[in-house]
Amino acid sequence: MGSRIDDVTPSYYVEHLATFAVGRQFGLTFPADGIRKLKQMEKNSAIWAQPLVLRFRQNGVTVEDENGDLVEQFPLELIEQPTAHVSSDPRDTYNNILLFIVREDTRSKRSSTPTEMHIFQCNRVAATEVADDLQWYIRGQFRKVRPGRRNSGPAQVYVPPEFLQYPTDEVSMHGDNAELFERDVNTLNRCFDDIERFVARIQSAAFAQRELEQQAHRYRTAQRRDKRGGPPPPDPNGILQMRAQLPIEPEFVDIFRKFKLSFNLLAKLKNHIHEPNAPELLHFLFTPLTVILEACHWGLGRNIAPQIVSPLLSLEARELMQNCLTSKESDVWMNLGEAWRTPPEDWAGPLPPPYRPVFVDGFAPYGLPEQQRPPPAAYPAPLHRGESAPPVHYKPYPRDRSVDTVGFAWHSRSAVRMCRLSFCFFFPVFS
């Protein structure tokens, strides 16, 4: 049964990063070992940050989802070494980390949960404060901890004010090409960011599933050794079970639409993208696309990509793909179906509705989708909402202009990172 986050119990919004088995056989004994292993996972783009809530109670620590539903709970007497790891290195994505160890419950010989280390990124609260609060709770000094929430909760969907206030007349809407150019670059960057996060989430599910399989193996081994029946089976709930779940169908739909938008934007910006250029970025996109297609078939039991109609590919995007894809990439593209290679000019039947993406960070470049839009508001027109040819008053970007002049954030290092995903990803066999 879910419980709402109250103003009495100390609670903290966090993101679960990893859970590791602790022991010499796992090469992990101390908090520093957990940070080292986490950084290695981060290098492999294997971390999916799962939003959760930590709540401290006098009998234990509960882990809840954002709706207040219980995910896992740890008795206080089993928790040790609450540690904060704070970094000022700008290269560290996760720089405000809380970790603690939950010992195996040796009070019962029938325990099936090994000693584990749980690692969280703290949001809007210092990890040092959370670690100190947890230490006070472990010592039973509850009054030393300030009650209530320590942060303002999950980020809300954010629509940049400059887009909410965008003029509606055609001249002002399209007159400032530099602003439109920068918007397209920012949108493409966020497509790449969301795609990278999505693959990291899939990979995290694979790692969690592997750990669950190892737990199940230990359980079966203990059962064979214990004539009295052995320990109870592993908890069917918990953090690992939650992390082992793949994205649901609407999430796959959303990421496939962002791939199509990326193809359109690459074609639109191809004359201004350098190091890497548009064809190179196109190749990089097909690496995570292949991974996500496999995960979709694996998780949903079917390939839903051919059903994704909006946004339609522009003529320029189709031409770019026809000219630049390798034979293997072209096979993947052809298997995606007509909706992935037919421009609006050739589309039979009514044109699909415009695609208005909302990104993980809340950025909504073309305004919110209809069900989320606060009327009345004026937004830039979505890219390729019905025609792939530019409007008559459209002025092309200056040919001598480079994306470097407006800060093309997803540079070659990030491109290489996305490319590397294919080498570290694996699909375990699910039982």
Mean pLDDT calculated for residue range 84-88: 92
Mean pLDDT calculated for residue range 202-210: 84
pLDDT at 68 (0 to 100): 83
**What b/e readout covers 259-295, taking b as 16+ CB neighbours within 10 angstroms?**
bbbbbbbbbbbbbbbeebebbbbbbbbbbbbbbbbeb
Query: What is the C-alpha separation between 336 and 310, in angstroms, rounded?
Result: 13
Give the strands of the sheet with 50-57, arranged side by side: 70-75, 60-64, 50-57, 11-21, 116-122, 96-102, 79-86
pLDDT at 128 (0 to 100): 94
Query: What is the C-alpha separation between 127 and 96, in angstroms, rounded?
Result: 5
pLDDT at 332 (0 to 100): 96
pLDDT at 150 (0 to 100): 64
pLDDT at 226 (0 to 100): 66
Query: What is the C-alpha separation between 102 and 117, in angstroms, rounded?
Result: 6
Is the pLDDT at 62 greater than 60? The verdict is yes
Give the three-state DSSP class for 298: helix
Query: What is the C-alpha separation between 225 and 220, in angstroms, rounded?
Result: 9
pLDDT at 46 (0 to 100): 63
Residue-wise pLDDT tens digits, 400-409: 333 332 333 3
pLDDT at 177 (0 to 100): 76
Cis bond upstream, residue 160 (ω within 30): no
Check: CB of residue 196 under 8 Å from CB of residue 288. yes
pLDDT at 117 (0 to 100): 93
Mode of pairing for the β-strands spanning 116-122 and 96-102: antiparallel
Question: Which two three-digit tokens encode residue 64?
Answer: 């809840």
The residue that leads in pLDDT, 144 or 150, is 144
In the chain, the amino acid numbered 176 is D
Residue-wise pLDDT tens digits, 285-327: 999 999 999 999 988 899 999 999 999 999 999 999 999 999 9
pLDDT at 224 (0 to 100): 72
Cβ-Cβ contacts under 8 Å for 296 (sequence gap 6 or more): 252, 302, 303, 304, 305
Is the pLDDT at 49 greater than 90? The verdict is no
The pLDDT > 70 percentage for the chain reads 72
- Among 104-108, 210-214, 275-279, 390-394, top mean pLDDT goes to 275-279
Cα torsion 296, 254, 39, 238 to 10°: value is: -70
Is the pLDDT at 415 greater than 60? The verdict is no
Residue-wise pLDDT tens digits, 209-232: 888 887 777 767 776 766 555 555
> Residue ranges per domain, the chain?
11-144, 161-231+244-424
Cβ-Cβ contacts under 8 Å for 9 (sequence gap 6 or more): 55, 56, 57, 147, 148
Written in H, E and C, the secondary structure of 2-44 is CCCCCCCCCEEEEEEEEEEECEHHHCECCHHHHHHHHHHHHHC
pLDDT at 383 (0 to 100): 41
pLDDT at 376 (0 to 100): 41
Q: Mean of the per-residue pLDDT values for the chain?
A: 77
The residue that leads in pLDDT, 69 or 138, is 138
Fold of 11-144: PH-domain like (2.30.29)
Give the three-state DSSP class for 99: strand
- Cα 222 to the chain's mean position, in Å? 36
pLDDT at 228 (0 to 100): 58
pLDDT at 204 (0 to 100): 83
Residue-wise pLDDT tens digits, 24-46: 888 899 999 999 999 888 877 66
- Among 117-126, 153-162, 389-398, top mean pLDDT goes to 117-126
The residue that leads in pLDDT, 159 or 43, is 43
Residue-wise pLDDT tens digits, 357-387: 999 888 888 887 766 544 444 444 444 333 3
Tell me the backbone φ, ψ of residue 219, rounded to 5 degrees. Answer: -65, -45
- Among 1-15, 345-359, 393-407, which is the least confidently predicted range? 393-407
Is the pLDDT at 429 greater than 50? The verdict is no
In the chain, the amino acid numbered 383 is L
Mean pLDDT calculated for residue range 388-415: 36
The residue that leads in pLDDT, 159 or 99, is 99
Cβ-Cβ contacts under 8 Å for 196 (sequence gap 6 or more): 45, 288, 414, 417, 418, 421
- Among 19-23, 104-108, 115-119, 392-396, top mean pLDDT goes to 115-119
